Chain A
Amino acid sequence: MDPSQYQSNELAQFIAQEKERAMVNEMVGKLTNVCWDKCITGTPGSKFSSSESSCLSNCARRYMDMSVIIMKRFQNMQ
């Protein structure tokens, strides 16, 4: 492999990693946005109540579960 090929592979890999990182950040950001609205109903306190923190973690997981169901249903309709 000549040096310029190595460099362009290395850069392609770097870009793919950064892209994945950005997609993960986007997912976390979107979920936090949605779950905050669902779970933090009153004025923000100096800490989360245990029901608020479990609501937040449940929310993220149930959203992902829902995502799987939607994909399956959608693929069944193709």
Chain B
Amino acid sequence: MNCEVCQLKELDVEHFEIREVLRCILHTILFHRALGLVRPKDIDLELFEITYVQCGDVELERKIDEKIDQFLDRVEKHPNKKNQICLSFYEVKNKQPTWFTNKVERLYWEQWYINLNVAQHQKGHSGKSTSSKIVVDPGAEERNVRRAALEGSLRDVLFQIIRFVNEKKDHIPPIPNLEGVSFPYEITISSSSDSAFGMEMFKRMLQTGHPTMLS
């Protein structure tokens, strides 16, 4: 089975926008992959005039928020790096235990890469607005322009997701779970210059059983 990879359009975000942007993208992807019984829930973004759809799964919301918090921590620790979140869907295959490992094998059949370029200076509503009016006013127009551009880019990302889920359907495995998010998934965080990023990719390749890699 092929692993379909979708590299979403890179977004330039500010620190305070990360949570909303990631929630929007992750929930949109999962809504299209939660093929079990769902009650769609419309969510309006606060920072943008965009409405996205959630599955209505409380556990899913909690997990996503958890990952977003981890991402935010990572961004704060590594401010000068491009950060990436990878949402992977996999199948669980019970692999025959060997003396190397007796783990359950994961067959990734779809991966989504969300690329965020976090601005270094943490401007925002909680930024320097209280320090001096002179500092805020000249940048307000620039922020509005940037915000509008980000909204357009985010909308493009959502359209990209819809196009991808429509174009790629044959690789989707049978639905194992008829409730909520039917496919097991994982969310991993990485950054471009992080050595762990390469390790994550290497680990994933081992797990997917790439023909060039030793299993």
Q: Decide if A and B are genuine partners.
A: no
Interface residues of B (CB under 8 A from A): none
